[in-house]
Each structure stands twice: as C-alpha cells, then as structure tokens.
Amino acid sequence: MSDILISPSILAADFAKLGEEVRAIDVAGADMIHIDVMDGHFVPNLTIGPGVVKALRPHSQKPFDVHLMISPVDAYLEDFANAGADLITAHPEAGPHFHRTVQAIKKLGKKAGAALNPSTPASELDYVLEELDLVLIMSVNPGFGGQSFIENQLRKIEEIRERIEKLGTSTILEVDGGVTPDNCTKVINAGANALVAGSAVFKNGPENYAKSIAALRE
C-alpha cells in the first residue's frame, strides 16, 4: 500500500453492476474498498446490507472498509464481519456504550474504526482512541454522496492527528466527504493518510478510474 490510502466509495458506483465496479477499482489501484451502509434512521438514506457485502467479497482481495451508519449498531456487527468486512467503522452516537462496540468488533477479529460527524467533537474519542485502528472524519453530513467539503473539518483532522502522534499509534486517519483532487492536498497536509472518494473516482467512467485515483494520491 502507498503512504496515502485511497478507498473509493461504491456509493457512487453503478449499482446495476457492483461486482464489476469493485473489480475495476481494485485493478485501478484502490487500496481499500469503502462500503457505506445506511439504515434510513441514523442517516436519511438507505443503501445495502450484509448480503451485498458478502456477494461483493469474491470480487476483490483488497480490504473492505465498511462504514456502518446504522443505529443501534451492535446487533449487526457480527453479520458484517461474517459477510467479509475487514475494517468496521461505527459512530459513537449509534449505541449506548461505544467502547463496548469497539471491543465487540475486535472480538470478531476485525479492525475497529470510529466515525465523527461534522458536529461531533474530537473529544468523543477520549478514552477510546488508543484502541482504534481507524478514525473517519466525515467532512460532509452523512447520508448522500456528491456534497461539498466542509472546510472547518480541517481543524478536527489536525486535532486528531496530533492526538494520534502523541499516542504513538499507527491509527489510520481517514476523511470522507467532498474529497477531490482540488482539495485533497490540504486534507493530507492537515494529517489525513486515507481518503474516501466517491464521485471523484467514479464520475468519469471505468476507463478513467486509475487516472482519478492517481490524481488523489499525487
């Protein structure tokens, strides 16, 4: 994997041929496959369940970076782990005891992530950051693709990066929402080392996936 991890979000892919799309971004140089799971309750949209994740698993050996925007979340962790998720990210607000959620993910043999919505402060990760494999900063309000980057999230990225450095952990700091070749440099300079990109990768068609991924990484 490169220093900057690119995790294309299949939320922006052609849902009529998801398997083909996953294979295409794998070949194009994706480091991870980002899978957005929405329940129409925690966020105002519905996407996919563990059955689709399981169906996609044979199409790539790259890590499945599964972001659960569902509440309550704990009851579904095992289903997504069994479906083939490698890294499971949940929101602190999606259950009564987030530390227990993290422990449950680890017990399933998976890497654990925490997602922070734009209005969720970095302090939500107090007393749990050292146990996380990934922190996902949402730079748009979750629910829909194609939104514009919220600039004030750069301060949060900087704050989380500082905390990770103080802990001395290898926690991945990922950013999702409105990331494009035009703004990814400042996102990386703020401290991110993983970028989720939907429209920025998929909008120009499969023949340009490699070029789009390279543009983000460079």
From 31, 39, 74, 176, active-site residue: 176
Q: Each residue of 55-90: b (16+ CB within 10 Å) or e?
A: ebbebbebbbbbbbbbbebbebbeebbebbbbbbbb
Domain spans of the chain, in order of start: 5-217
Q: For residue 1, what pLDDT is reported?
A: 40
- Rounded Cα distance between 147 and 211, Å, is 22
Angle (CA) 101 107 108, round 5°: 95
40 annotated ligand-binding residue:
no
Q: For residue 2, what pLDDT is reported?
A: 56
Q: For residue 126, what pLDDT is reported?
A: 95
39 annotated ligand-binding residue:
no
Beta carbons of 178 and 185 less than 8 angstroms apart: no
Q: Could you tell me the fold of the domain covering 5-217?
A: TIM Barrel (3.20.20)
Angle (CA) 202 156 30, round 5°: 25
49 annotated ligand-binding residue:
no
Is 36 one of the catalytic residues? Answer: yes
Give the mean pLDDT per block of 10 residues along the chain (218 residues): 87 97 98 97 94 98 98 98 98 96 98 98 97 98 85 98 97 96 96 96 95 93
